[in-house]
């Protein structure tokens, strides 16, 4: 049986296939790309929504499948159930429960590998709806099912933040807002807010250049986006360029620069900057070109390993270096819920070593009196404060300057303040998790 391309059953089937690839180690965006090849934009949008919901609820749905099915089902059936159960757990419900059940059974019936199990799938979903209140109460005893994180991740966050770990985990499960960075070279923030209002887009200012939309919209609907008036960038990420404290005429390195959001921000902040954007992945470096072209800005884009300057550096020292280093990305799980399921505890140790290698190598490229900003989008101290203290001890002639330190991911309704080093966040309570440290080389 061929499913109608605009049906929920078709989208459920594709989302289950994407979830299967995720569970085999593929990042969710790439998994969705793989299963949606040749699909029209509306179908891709529906699959993305279903798959992201399923990923956010993966701990709960795994528990439900273990609880409701005596013997482990085939992986294809399990993934279809995971997607369907997530839609029934979410709040608010994206679809009526009877629609989810009907369309999930239809999707199973259309797949020769699953059709023999459609009765089991129908029975599991209907039993869940009958016993939902009791089942949800029972799953609270299982940490992974209750929080939708792997057990090791829960333990690491609880160890680092014993008083606020539950709030931090909850913040990572909330849907992220769409936040824009207004380009001051093109338009003032208040004027841009007026442009949004004229376009019927509700928004508010939440930072110096940050604007949060009440609901996400395609960038094609944003006034001035194509002309570089705004960029999409989390409010917490917008601190990176401002902390670098650039001045006209300086030579600046944006290490690990793709996709180019911070490079573009730097070029918006001062005239006459000589910016080098470094990226190890040639394919990702193309994104830097595209983003800078939209902003009508230019930089020297270089493909190379930040930890090996001898392969790309011309020997001329930089006044400023932005080291936005590879990390676990534990601070941006509300935007990328697949990260929690793809990371392993051993990754943190390996990443910490890589971060040290990169910063030590870049430090040699910084001129006396220059500044280096160390950034990770992580909440784990092994990638944040522990590293900053290590750099203080091991970087020659390093002076640690005031910086935000650990910013914890928060939402407007989160009952916590951010982890700003001085006790108060430099931002309103709506941003991802980041760590910032600033070092100056003695003149």
Q: What DSSP assignment string belongs to 86-114?
A: HHHHSSS-SS-HHHHHHHHHHHHHH-TTT
Cβ-contact 291, 232 below 8 angstroms: no
Q: Residue 207: inside a domain, yes or no?
A: no
Q: Residue 180: inside a domain, yes or no?
A: no
226: its two tokens: 């194509």
The annotation status of 256 as a binding-site residue, yes or no, is: yes
The annotation status of 257 as a binding-site residue, yes or no, is: yes
Predicted local distance difference test score (pLDDT) of residue 424: 42
Q: Using alpha carbons, select from 253, 349, 241 the residue that is nearest to residue 304.
A: 253
Range of the domain at 256: 244-441
The annotation status of 396 as a binding-site residue, yes or no, is: no
365 catalytic? Reply is no
Residue among 36, 302, 327, 377 flagged as catalytic: 377
Cβ-contact 195, 224 below 8 angstroms: yes
Half-sphere exposure for 268 (CA within 13 Å, toward CB): 27
Cβ-contact 35, 47 below 8 angstroms: yes
CA distances from 429 to 22, 239, 315, 412, 422 (A): 31, 14, 42, 5, 16
Predicted local distance difference test score (pLDDT) of residue 410: 77
Q: Residue 384: inside a domain, yes or no?
A: yes
Predicted local distance difference test score (pLDDT) of residue 420: 35
Helix axes 118-139, 97-110, angle to 10 degrees: 140
Strands of 230-232's sheet in order across:
203-205, 210-213, 179-182, 230-232
The annotation status of 46 as a binding-site residue, yes or no, is: no
What does residue 276 show for φ and ψ, rounded to 5 degrees?
Answer: -110, 125
Q: What's the domain count of the chain? A: 2
Q: Are residues 141 and 275 in the same domain?
A: no
**Residue 80: which H helix or E strand, with range?**
helix 75-89
Boundary (domain end) residue, out of 79, 113, 148: 148
213: its two tokens: 């939309």
Low-confidence ranges of the chain (pLDDT < 50): 414-425
Report the CATH number at residue 388: 3.40.50.150
Q: Are residues 249 and 112 in the same domain?
A: no
Q: Are residues 384 and 255 in the same domain?
A: yes
Predicted local distance difference test score (pLDDT) of residue 428: 58
Report the CATH number at residue 103: 1.10.940.10
Predicted local distance difference test score (pLDDT) of residue 416: 40
Predicted local distance difference test score (pLDDT) of residue 411: 67
The annotation status of 324 as a binding-site residue, yes or no, is: yes
pLDDT tens across 41-55, in order?
Answer: 999 999 999 999 999
Q: Are residues 140 and 287 in the same domain?
A: no
What average pLDDT does the structure give for the chain? 94
Q: d(Cα 41, Cα 36) in Å, to the nearest integer? A: 9
Q: Are residues 285 and 432 in the same domain?
A: yes
What is the distance in angstroms between the CA of the first residue and the CA of the last residue of the chain?
Answer: 73
Q: Residue 187: inside a domain, yes or no?
A: no
262: its two tokens: 């911070």
Predicted local distance difference test score (pLDDT) of residue 413: 56
Beta strands in 365-408 (DSSP E): 366-376, 398-407
The annotation status of 259 as a binding-site residue, yes or no, is: yes
Q: Residue 231: inside a domain, yes or no?
A: no
Predicted local distance difference test score (pLDDT) of residue 430: 85
Q: Are residues 18 and 144 in the same domain?
A: yes
Q: Are residues 144 and 248 in the same domain?
A: no
Boundary (domain end) residue, out of 104, 131, 148: 148
The annotation status of 59 as a binding-site residue, yes or no, is: no
Q: Are residues 140 and 249 in the same domain?
A: no
């Amino acid at each position: 049986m061929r499913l109608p391309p605009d049906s929920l059953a078709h989208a459920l089937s594709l989302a289950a296939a994407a979830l299967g690839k995720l569970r085999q180690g593929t990042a969710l965006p790439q998994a969705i790309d793989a299963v949606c090849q040749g699909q029209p934009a509306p179908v891709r949008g529906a699959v993305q929504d279903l798959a992201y919901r399923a990923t956010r609820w993966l701990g709960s749905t795994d528990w439900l499948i273990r609880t409701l099915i005596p013997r482990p089902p085939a992986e294809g059936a399990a993934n279809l159930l995971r997607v369907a159960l997530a839609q029934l757990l979410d709040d608010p419900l994206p679809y009526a429960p009877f629609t989810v059940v009907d369309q999930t059974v239809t999707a199973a019936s259309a797949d020769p590998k699953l059709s023999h199990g459609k009765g089991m799938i129908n029975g599991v979903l209907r039993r869940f709806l009958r016993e939902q209140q009791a089942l949800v109460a029972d799953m609270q005893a299982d940490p992974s099912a209750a929080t939708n994180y792997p057990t090791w991740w829960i333990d690491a966050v609880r160890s680092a933040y014993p008083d606020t770990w539950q709030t931090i985990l909850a913040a990572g499960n909330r849907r992220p807002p769409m936040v824009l960075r207004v380009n001051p070279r093109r338009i003032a923030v208040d004027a841009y807010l007026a442009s949004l209002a004229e376009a019927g887009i509700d928004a508010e200012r939440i930072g110096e250049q940050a604007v949060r939309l009440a609901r996400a919209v395609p960038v094609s609907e944003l006034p001035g986006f194509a002309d570089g008036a705004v960029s999409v960038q989390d409010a917490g990420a917008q601190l990176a360029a401002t902390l670098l404290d650039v001045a006209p005429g300086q030579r600046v390195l944006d290490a690990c620069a793709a996709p180019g959001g911070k490079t573009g921000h730097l070029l918006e902040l001062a005239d006459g900057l000589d910016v080098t954007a470094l990226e190890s992945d040639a394919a990702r470096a193309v994104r830097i070109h595209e983003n800078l072209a939209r902003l009508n800005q230019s930089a020297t884009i270089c493909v190379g390993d930040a930890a090996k300057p001898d392969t790309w550096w011309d020997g001329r020292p930089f006044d400023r270096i932005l080291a936005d280093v590879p990390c676990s990305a534990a601070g941006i799980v509300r935007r990328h819920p697949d990260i929690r399921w793809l990371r392993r505890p051993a990754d943190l140790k390996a990443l910490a070593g890589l971060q040290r290698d990169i910063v030590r190598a870049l430090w040699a490229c910084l001129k006396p009196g220059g500044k280096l900003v160390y950034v990770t989008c992580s909440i784990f101290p092994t990638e944040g404060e522990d590293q900053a203290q290590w750099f203080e001890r091991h970087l020659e002639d390093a002076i640690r300057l005031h910086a935000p330190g650990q910013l914890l991911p928060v939402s407007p309704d989160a009952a916590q303040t951010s982890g700003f080093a001085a006790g108060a966040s430099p931002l309103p309570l709506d941003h991802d998790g980041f760590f910032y440290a600033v070092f100056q080389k003695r003149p």
